[in-house]
């Protein structure tokens, strides 16, 4: 009997789970390329300083191969950031619901191959994860169009 009388009330637990904020920082540059056998953060994506966010920086590559490597590195950075949010989440259901909606309203990062659009879509899911389903579906249409075409 003493075990059941300790801890929070159900209403407090539910309130804690449903109290969400969207106060995360965007993904940052944590990638590099080899330059003469040594890791060099400026060899890939030199317009973004190491440790700074790439979200608002235009992707630029001298050729298609360079642009593909840069895009892949930014997508990898996004996935590391996203995984970190899930692993180190606060005591609420925001990240679980974001993952749920990501699986329910599928897009494929490799098919879109645009790190900024991927980040914007993820932010949409994070901000709308506990909101109105109809509004979420309507707001996610631009990303769905990119994925379907």
**Residue 34's pLDDT band (cuts 50, 70, 90):** confident
Domain span including residue 43 = 26-88
Last residue of a domain, one of 71, 88, 105: 88
Cβ distance 95 to 81 under 8 Å? no
Last residue of a domain, one of 48, 71, 88: 88
pTM: 0.79
Residue 20 within a domain: no
**Residue 48's pLDDT band (cuts 50, 70, 90):** very high
Last residue of a domain, one of 60, 88, 116: 88
Instruction: Compute the mean pLDDT over every residue in the chain, rounded to the nearest whole number.
Output: 84
| Residues above pLDDT 70, as percent of the chain | 89
- Reduced to 3 states, what is the DSSP secondary structure of residue 146? helix
Give the pLDDT confidence score for residue 1 in this predicted structure: 44
Cβ distance 27 to 79 under 8 Å? no
- Reduced to 3 states, what is the DSSP secondary structure of residue 14? helix
**71 and 97 share a domain?**
no
Give the pLDDT confidence score for residue 143 in this predicted structure: 65
Cβ distance 22 to 123 under 8 Å? yes
**33 and 61 share a domain?**
yes
Q: CA–CA separation, 106 vs 112, rounded Å?
A: 12
Our count of domains for the chain comes to: 2
């Amino acid at each position: 009997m003493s075990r059941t009388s300790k801890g929070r009330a159900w209403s407090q637990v539910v309130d804690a789970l449903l109290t969400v904020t969207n106060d995360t920082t965007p993904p940052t540059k944590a990638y590099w390329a080899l330059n003469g056998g040594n890791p060099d953060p400026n060899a890939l994506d030199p317009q973004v300083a190491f440790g700074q966010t790439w979200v608002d920086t235009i992707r630029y590559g001298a050729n298609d191969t360079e642009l593909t490597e840069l895009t892949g590195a930014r997508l990898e950075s996004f996935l590391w950031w996203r995984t970190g949010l899930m692993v180190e989440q606060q005591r609420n259901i925001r990240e679980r619901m974001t993952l749920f909606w990501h699986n329910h309203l599928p897009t494929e990062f490799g098919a879109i191959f645009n790190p900024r659009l991927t980040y914007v879509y993820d932010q949409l899911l994070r901000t709308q994860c506990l909101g109105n389903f109809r509004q979420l579906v309507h707001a996610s249409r631009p990303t769905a169009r990119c994925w379907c075409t």
